[in-house]
Chain A
Amino acid sequence: MSTKEKTGWIVGGVLIVLYCLAPIAWIVSLSFKAPADLSNASFLPTTPSTENYATILTGNASELFLPALVNSFGICLIATFISCVLSMFAAYAIARLDFPGKKFILGTALAVAIFPVISIVTPLFNLWRQIGLYDTWPGLIIPYLSLTLPLSIWTMSAFFREIPWEMEQAAQVDGATTWQAFRKVIVPLAAPGVFTTAIIAFFIAWNDFVYGISLTSTSASRPVPAALGLFSGASQFEDPTGAIAAAAVIVTIPVVVLVLVFQRRIVAGLTNGAVKG
């Protein structure tokens, strides 16, 4: 490859990286602007200030933000965990077993994935307030499954198809039952796929907004994206731009870390589950 071509690639790469990171850099920069500096009409703060972080972590908005952060982590992790367990079984059945209705399950997953969330939020809200799930953790975890399950089932089925099943058969020949073969042989082999699926499912749950604003009303279960809209400035009429920016940065940190550490797996998971010729 010629030097010229190399330079071309590097320039292209830099452009792509800039494109991807510019809005993130902007919100980080914004979060370090002091309230009076917010309208300085430039990208960077005049003098960096951590005032906004103080507001959301220890100040005025901390009572809103900190419980929301706990809720977001807790609810998303539990939803991710449940959907991984459920889809692990389902994906095994789909990839491995022969039973009627397999197509139906995949079709259902597809239908659920394209479902407009807004269409079901009102009936869920009505049901939840009748049975007492409104504004509780399970009240969000259950609908989150509708977001995470379909994708988990596809991604995991795709991963499971690549597992060398001969090993399971070998185990069965050695006298293990189907269940034992599954548990002893397949589970360890499947762990990377499950783990990748978990990351992607977590992203999806973490991203939710509609359920978060519709099915919660207090710090008992309100997740961060919904809490962002509730911040206020020094008085109710002042815009909370700085606090929102700081909170936005904090909720972006976990996903950035996950992306940096597991990028190869995430890409494999996303493409595996979606396109498999």
Chain B
Amino acid sequence: MPRTTNHRVRSRAGRTARLLGAGAAAVVAASGLAACGSGDDGVPVLNWYINPDSGGQAEIASRCTDDAGGRYTIEVSQLPRDSPSQREQLVRRLAANDSSIDIMSLDPPYIPEFAQAGFFAPVPEDVAQRVTTDVVQSAVDGSTWDGELVTVPFWANTQLLWYRTSVAEAAGLDMTQPVTWDQLVEAAQGQDVRLGVQGIRSESLTVWLNALIESAGGSIIAENSTDPEDIELGLTSEAGVRAAEVLRDVSASGTGGPALSTANEDTTATDFEGDQGGFQVNYPFVYPRAQAAVEGGTLDQAVLDDYGWALYPRVDADTETAPPYGGINLGVGAFSEHPDFAYEATECITSTENQAYYFVSNGNPASDTTVYEDPDVLSEFPMAPTILESLQLAKPRPQTPYYSEVSGGIQREYHPTASVDPEQTPQDATELIEAVLRKEQLL
């Protein structure tokens, strides 16, 4: 028997065991830390579940902790990157009546579902009054369900039409006037440049289709209801068919680039910075993104100087555009132990000053209209007035507790966008979504 080997192994195993012991001690310590709802000194800790950003919400949390003067502290916890996963995580916890969720950063389309399920603490009337003063209508709409304000508007996002001034000039487009999708496709083809859109099978696709339908004067949900079986879809309406046509025409034109079916906001922005950049519809983050690239030395200042912006394209030349509305609103958890503090904190978070800070530092536009008069904002974001104008025209995505079913059904039928059939696809999507809502089909 090779005893020496065994001795060596035994001592190694002994070390492993000690390590494991240390690990076990760490677990106890860690779970002890995680479990406490208030700090050691009895000061309530408000947990704010945030969507990932560039650190702005964490900074605002610490500012508001200071403002609270020791009555409560705010700690942030990060949610996943895409909004459907953010919803999943929160719903899972809230379904467990989790009292550790005090404040949530929510993507507006999911707000009705949360409200309907009773996941929000009611908004006190005085708070509701204050947090909707001077706020763009789309953000107020996005915070409302069933005629009642259920969340606090925080920041509001919208897509603009970004163009290279040189390309638009060469194509003979007058960008001071509203432009249509057809004009853009023609210009992009004529100049051999890209028209960046988000064709990936994700929320981005629903955002695009919704903007097209709203711009054509229709809605994805024509007749709303809290009963899933009574929801009437507007995909097959005249506006719905027109939207599908534009979706198909833009995609089939080839101007979206070879990877249109996997193009998201980031890839669209990359393309726009590249040699073939011409036009794109995208959120304002593309501007600080390009500035960072110039600073990092990977983008020419000349390209940044060439950036132009305008309102989201129109579907029909004589109908006003309806740009996408997005952003984040703040919900207070129904099971929170400190809803009063939480609402107080949301007021601090969404203060004009903090919204301006968030806009300038993280590139996320404010829902508070007075922010757009801030000189810092105007110098950092010369397109701020266009953003405000866009937000005032913007339309939310369908508001329903069954949003994920509606959006998921749309993504399944309208992807890939190049093979959408305006006669057939809206019909198929309507049948699918209705069947899913009746629970007769999987999604």
Contacts and interface: CB of A to CB of B under 8 A. Distances in A.
Interface of A: 34-37, 39, 60, 63-64, 70, 73-74, 77-78, 81, 125, 129-130, 134-137, 164, 167, 188-189, 191-192, 194-195, 198, 217-221, 229-240
8 contacts: A63-B78, A73-B23, A74-B30, A81-B17, A136-B34, A137-B31, A230-B81, A234-B292
Contacts, number: 126
A78 B9 contact: no
A167 B285 CA distance: 72
B1 interface: yes
B172 to A, nearest CB: 31
A188 B266 contact: no
Nearest to B11: A191
A36 B23 contact: no
B272 interface: no
Given A137-B31, A230-B81, A237-B285, A77 B266 contact: no
A215 to B, nearest CB: 9
B173 to A, nearest CB: 26
B175 interface: no
Contacts of B52: 230-232, 236
B298 interface: yes
B26 interface: yes
A192 B81 contact: no
B89 to A, nearest CB: 4
Contacts of A188: 6-7, 10
Contacts of A137: 27, 30-31
B171 interface: no
Interface of B: 1, 5-7, 9-10, 12-13, 16-17, 19-20, 23-24, 26-27, 30-31, 34, 51-55, 58, 77-81, 85, 89-90, 92-93, 95-96, 264-267, 269-270, 282-283, 285, 288-289, 292-293, 296-299, 362-364
Contacts of A231: 52, 81
Given A129-B93, A220-B31, 9 more contacts: A36-B297, A134-B92, A137-B31, A218-B34, A229-B81, A230-B78, A231-B81, A236-B51, A237-B266
A192 B7 CA distance: 10
Instruction: Enumerate the 8 nearest inter-chain pairs by beta-carbon distance, A residue then B residue, closest first.
Output: A36-B298, A129-B96, A232-B52, A237-B265, A220-B34, A235-B285, A239-B266, A217-B89
A21 to B, nearest CB: 28
Contact of A234 (B54, B81, B85): B54
Nearest to B6: A188
A234 B283 CA distance: 14
Contacts of B362: 235
B80 A77 contact: no
Contacts of B289: 234-235, 238
B293 A78 contact: no
Q: Which of A136, A189, A198, A230 has the most CB of B within 10 A?
A: A230
A53 to B, nearest CB: 17
A238 B266 contact: yes
B161 to A, nearest CB: 16
B299 A74 contact: no
Contacts of A164: 1
A239 B81 CA distance: 10
A180 to B, nearest CB: 17
Given A129-B95, A137-B31, A237 B264 contact: yes
A130 B264 contact: no
Contacts of A135: 93
Nearest to B328: A236
A242 to B, nearest CB: 12
A195 B20 contact: no
A204 to B, nearest CB: 17
Nearest to B17: A81
A195 B93 contact: no
Contacts of A240: 81
A155 to B, nearest CB: 16
Nearest to A67: B30
Contacts of A70: 26, 30
